[in-house]
Amino acid sequence: MIEPTIIYEDKNFLAVNKPSGWLTHEVGHNKSKRAMALTIWLLPRYPGLSKVGDEPKLRPGIVHRLDQETSGIILVPKTQEYFSYLKSLFKERKVKKTYLALVYGTLKNKKGIIEEPIGIKSGTIRRSVGSGKMLKPAATEYKGLREIENAKGEKFSLVEVSPLTGRTHQIRVHLKYLGHPILGDGIYGRKKDKTGRLMLHAVAIEFETSPGKKLRLEADPPADFEEILKSPIPD
């Protein structure tokens, strides 16, 4: 089993590389099963996190999240003071997050910004563009990095993606709307996809650790991500 790794640490916060398949924190329906969750892994190593956060009993130290199947960087503040600082940066959109996504097809426009509101489909966890409850503005910047063609002649694109807003499933929904769902996406992707993991990785994050002091952190895609890049699995 692949475990999280600490890629950066100072007195104020940690930066953790979360593997695909790990929850960011426990939620009610999986507590009895003790699903793999980043908070379970962190607390024995950093017991002080039990007092950090809006709801530290439920989400100790968690100021932002990644979907369970998304791998990559998560920031974890060590103190309540720094939690408040990071929370304000996220709220003010002063944290730049960069992802890598492997998608179906080739991009018509190699770069652009998707600006389409996202809402929740009634009675589901699914999000959709332009309809549903709690419709909110959403914007995602994207840039094609390279195209891949497998032995069957099927084409895929490796895309760099930066969410400019913070909606749930935003990147996954916007790329589907663009006509290029992410490989391995069991909710918004192709039903017969046998990729084995969601091909979305939070590769970099950039923010001011204190006023005027900028830091960029990067986490290389894991081996399973890189392996699929070499030979994408078609649906």
Catalytic member of 67, 193, 224, 235:
67
Q: Are residues 187 and 104 in the same domain?
A: yes
Q: Are residues 188 and 147 in the same domain?
A: yes
What is the structure's pLDDT at 235?
Answer: 60
- Mean pLDDT value across residues 190-209: 93
> Any idea which residue has 């992410």 for tokens?
182
Question: What's the mean pLDDT when you consider all of the chain?
Answer: 92
Q: Read off the pLDDT of residues 128-137 as tens digits, 9 standing for 90 and up.
A: 897 778 889 9
Q: Are residues 86 and 105 in the same domain?
A: no
Three-state SS string across the chain, please? CCCCEEEEECCCEEEEEECCCCECCCCHHHCCCCCCEHHHHHCCCCHHHHHCCCCCCCCCCCCCCCCCCCEEEEEEECCHHHHHHHHHHHHCCCCEEEEEEEEECCCCCCEEEEECCEEECCCCCCEEECCCEEEECCEEEEEEEEEEECCCCCEEEEEEEEECCCCCCHHHHHHHHCCCCECCCCCCCCCCCCCCCCCEEEEEEEEEEECCEEEEEECCCCHHHHHHHHCCCCC
Asked if residue 227 belongs to a domain, the reply is no
Asked if residue 229 belongs to a domain, the reply is no
Q: Are residues 113 and 55 in the same domain?
A: no
Measured distance CA(174)–CA(41) in Å, rounded? 31
Q: Predicted confidence band at 153 (pLDDT cuts at 50, 70, 90)?
A: confident
What is the structure's pLDDT at 33?
Answer: 52
Model confidence at 185: pLDDT above 90 = yes
What is the structure's pLDDT at 35?
Answer: 66
Asked if residue 209 belongs to a domain, the reply is no
Q: Are residues 128 and 161 in the same domain?
A: yes
- Mean pLDDT value across residues 118-131: 84
235 is catalytic: no
Asked if residue 132 belongs to a domain, the reply is yes
- Mean pLDDT value across residues 84-97: 97
Tally the domains of the chain: 2
Domain that holds residue 164: 96-198
Q: Are residues 46 and 113 in the same domain?
A: no
Q: Are residues 108 and 144 in the same domain?
A: yes
Report the percent of the chain where pLDDT is more than 90. 79
What is the structure's pLDDT at 32?
Answer: 45
**Which CATH number does the domain housing residue 27 bear?**
3.30.2350.10
The residues with which 15 forms a beta bridge, in sequence order, are 8, 75
What is the structure's pLDDT at 28?
Answer: 66
Closest CA to 142 of 165, 117, 110: 110
Q: Read off the pLDDT of residues 61-88 as tens digits, 9 standing for 90 and up.
A: 999 999 999 999 999 999 999 999 999 9
What is the structure's pLDDT at 193?
Answer: 85
